[in-house]
Amino acid sequence: MVYQLYPRSFQDSDGDGVGDLNGITQRLDYLQSLGIDAIWLNPICASPNDDNGYDISDYRAIMKEMGTMQDFDALLAGMKKRNIKLIMDLVLNHSSDEHDWFKGAKSSRDNKYYNYYHWWPAEKGTPPKRYSLFDEEANAWRYNSATKSYYLHYFSRKQPDLNWENPALRNEMYAIMKFWLDKGVSGFRLDAFPFMAKDTSWPAMPADFTNDQFVRYYGADKKVHDYLKEMNEKVLDKYTDVYTVGEGGVIPFSKVMDYVNEDNHELNTLYHDEIGNIWGRDSLDLGEYKTDRKNVTGVKQIVSKWDEKFRNKGWNTVYLTNHDQSRAVSRYGNDSPAYRIPSAKMLYTFLLTQRAVPYIYNGDEIGMTNIRFKNIEQYNDLQTRNRYYILLKESKEKAEAYLLNQQELSRDNSRTPMQWNNSANAGFTGGNPWLPVNPNYPEVNVEAAEKDKNSILNYVRQMSRLRHDRKDILVYGKYSLLDGANPDVFVYTRESGGKKLLVLLNFHGTNAVTNTGIDFSKAKLLISNYENTVADGHLRPYEAAVFEL
């Protein structure tokens, strides 16, 4: 079980309004109580924070708001003592424009760092169109007058793309990885890794370009396999028990095994976005978003097809949300007062009974909800802000529709500060929080959840114990879907060594009936999110239960 921790919003220890490493160290006993095996820490390296740490200006230094290298060493020691491993976020595709490499590169074509980045010389005319995800004008090429050339940035203009074709750059990155492994980290989450290998003949984009051609024009060129293999040979193989997980949302399903098949020696795991895409796509049409949320059949198909893919080789991961998506209970459950608690518990029953590495996103374990900002000025995230202003140039209506959509889907929903207690700023900071605290903190907070034996938090702990105690079945056991065509419920068994568990999940806010074809009236109930669960296939709104058959 991996806990994803967004350090900026977790715990501030020095009153500057930004979470820091000492804050995390203070909360290690809490983290241990969740029964997690590892923490994936979002970026903590030096950064001007155009994209909250995903724009690194020094890969060997700690971001000043987050503390010092000594603080880092203390955090790591505290984690080791509690048997929790640390997974670092490795930002490979781009650096900050304030990194010394880029400062050199942009000064002259003769600078030794010029070829650490991708350039288009102005004498060749306008560069072939490339879309930038975070740019104010959506243009991924930006002109630099000192070198009379354009640099490439798929993300913001302060995140120039690194040139992995240059062996000098690759070696720098490998040395950085060794630096952190020598300190004792246990693995890396490879940020946006498919983009590091591009087709640098820069073919023109077809007029009818659609997103399913994204990989062809933006990344995942076959060179990516060479880079990953080389990274293993030069770095990862030299250490024992190092875990890698790639951010693989853009990798087509048919190509996944090429990356995670052990024989290929590339990545241990990657994560896909299919559940998120079906259940909350970034569409401008909220009607479509709301309809998709009810699509449990689609989710069952996704889970089953990925399970099949990993039946014999490789290993899967599963998550419901992360720092790039909105809150799980708001998105996939129901955050109304009546259903926030049962629906969040149901989602955790789902997550922690999967045959995959489950990722828990911080704050979800207490059922934190979307903040739903009303005005564009309230947003911090450059993605929401820039896209809004681009749409505003097209029409006010489109911009307004996007604002409504972002209330449900914006990344800032998941980035509001962790809610620890009911004191000012939810106990996150003694200063001014960098992003507002969700006003529901007097009710939704860790301290309140600790005191309530029926809280989401205590349910997560029970589920986590169950997963560890029944590891043979719940981690490694076979998965079989039951009642597959039922549009309301998700029901499956997990089995191993002649033992079988039955998982029943009602994903909707209405009563449902499932026909499992199994008589489980005498089965032993292991966990459920309601009192008096009846073993006859009738499920109340968002009811979840695990039985031992």
Beta carbon of residue 51, minimum distance to ligand GLC (angstroms, whole number): 5
Is residue 217 within 8 A of residue 203, CB to CB? The reply is: yes
Beta carbon of residue 54, minimum distance to ligand GLC (angstroms, whole number): 3
Q: Does 10 bind ligand GLC (CB under 6 A)?
A: no
Q: Does 324 bind ligand GLC (CB under 6 A)?
A: yes
Starting from the edge strand earliest in sequence, which strands make up the sheet with 119-121, in order? 119-121, 149-152, 141-144
Beta carbon of residue 441, minimum distance to ligand GLC (angstroms, whole number): 24
- Phi then psi for 467, rounded to 5 degrees? -60, -40
CA 234 to chain centre: 27
Q: Is 172 a catalytic residue?
A: no
**69-81 and 167-183 helices cross at what angle (nearest 10)?**
60
Choose between 414 and 464: whose C-beta lies nearer to ligand GLC.
Answer: 414
Please give the residue whose beta carbon sits closest to ligand GLC in the complex. Answer: 54
Beta carbon of residue 192, minimum distance to ligand GLC (angstroms, whole number): 4
Beta carbon of residue 323, minimum distance to ligand GLC (angstroms, whole number): 6
465 contact partners, CB below 8 Å, separation of at least 6: 35
Cα separation, 152 vs 159, in Å, equals: 9
Choose between 8 and 345: whose C-beta lies nearer to ligand GLC.
Answer: 8
Contacts 24+ apart (CB under 8 A), 491-500: 491/516, 492/353, 493/549, 494/353, 494/355, 496/472, 497/472, 497/473, 499/472, 499/473, 499/548, 500/473, 500/548, 500/549
Applying CB under 6 A, what is the total number of residues that bind ligand GLC? Answer: 9
Is residue 224 within 8 A of residue 195, CB to CB? The reply is: no
Choose between 300 and 415: whose C-beta lies nearer to ligand GLC.
Answer: 415
| Binders of ligand GLC in range 91-150 (CB under 6 A) | 91
Placement of tokens 């499992």 in the chain: 516
Q: Is 191 a catalytic residue?
A: yes
Beta carbon of residue 13, minimum distance to ligand GLC (angstroms, whole number): 24
Choose between 118 and 470: whose C-beta lies nearer to ligand GLC.
Answer: 118
H or E stretch covering 311: none
- Phi then psi for 114, rounded to 5 degrees? -55, -45
Q: Does 381 bind ligand GLC (CB under 6 A)?
A: no
Choose between 96 and 316: whose C-beta lies nearer to ligand GLC.
Answer: 96
User: Contacting ligand GLC (CB under 6 A), which of 6, 155, 217, 520?
Assistant: 155
Among the listed residues 20, 247, 335, 412, the single catalytic one is 247
Is residue 437 within 8 A of residue 345, CB to CB? The reply is: no
Beta carbon of residue 219, minimum distance to ligand GLC (angstroms, whole number): 12
Beta carbon of residue 520, minimum distance to ligand GLC (angstroms, whole number): 41
Choose between 76 and 91: whose C-beta lies nearer to ligand GLC.
Answer: 91
Beta carbon of residue 53, minimum distance to ligand GLC (angstroms, whole number): 9
Beta carbon of residue 154, minimum distance to ligand GLC (angstroms, whole number): 8
Cα separation, 99 vs 55, in Å, equals: 9
Within 10-159, strands assigned E span 38-41, 45-46, 58-62, 85-91, 119-121, 141-144, 149-152
In 94-222, which residue ranges form alpha helices assigned H by DSSP?
100-105, 167-183, 214-218
Q: Does 412 bind ligand GLC (CB under 6 A)?
A: no
| Binders of ligand GLC in range 220-249 (CB under 6 A) | 247
How many Cα atoms within 13 Å fall on the side-chain side of residue 262? 5
Q: For residue 388, give Cα distances in angstroms to 142, 383, 385, 396, 397.
A: 21, 8, 5, 10, 11
Beta carbon of residue 42, minimum distance to ligand GLC (angstroms, whole number): 8
Residue 74, classed as helix, strand or coil, is: helix
Q: Does 191 bind ligand GLC (CB under 6 A)?
A: yes
Q: Does 273 bind ligand GLC (CB under 6 A)?
A: no
Choose between 154 and 520: whose C-beta lies nearer to ligand GLC.
Answer: 154
Choose between 91 and 152: whose C-beta lies nearer to ligand GLC.
Answer: 91
C-alpha Rg value of the chain to the nearest Å = 23
User: Contacting ligand GLC (CB under 6 A), which of 41, 192, 329, 501?
Assistant: 192
In 3D space, the residue among 176, 195, 311 whose CA is nearest the CA of residue 235 turns out to be 176
Choose between 328 and 512: whose C-beta lies nearer to ligand GLC.
Answer: 328
Choose between 389 and 476: whose C-beta lies nearer to ligand GLC.
Answer: 389
Choose between 155 and 373: whose C-beta lies nearer to ligand GLC.
Answer: 155
Cα separation, 383 vs 323, in Å, equals: 13
Q: Taking the C-alpha atoms of 143, 144, 147 and 152 in order, what is their torsion angle to the nearest 10 degrees?
A: -60
Among the listed residues 51, 55, 161, 191, the single catalytic one is 191
User: Contacting ligand GLC (CB under 6 A), which of 54, 72, 151, 180?
Assistant: 54
Residue 19, classed as helix, strand or coil, is: coil
In 3D space, the residue among 497, 474, 523, 533 whose CA is nearest the CA of residue 348 turns out to be 474
User: Contacting ligand GLC (CB under 6 A), which of 51, 65, 266, 483?
Assistant: 51
In 3D space, the residue among 142, 124, 123 whose CA is nearest the CA of residue 132 turns out to be 142
- Catalytic annotation, residues: 191, 247
The residue ranges that bind ligand GLC (CB under 6 A) are 51, 54, 91, 155, 191-192, 247, 323-324
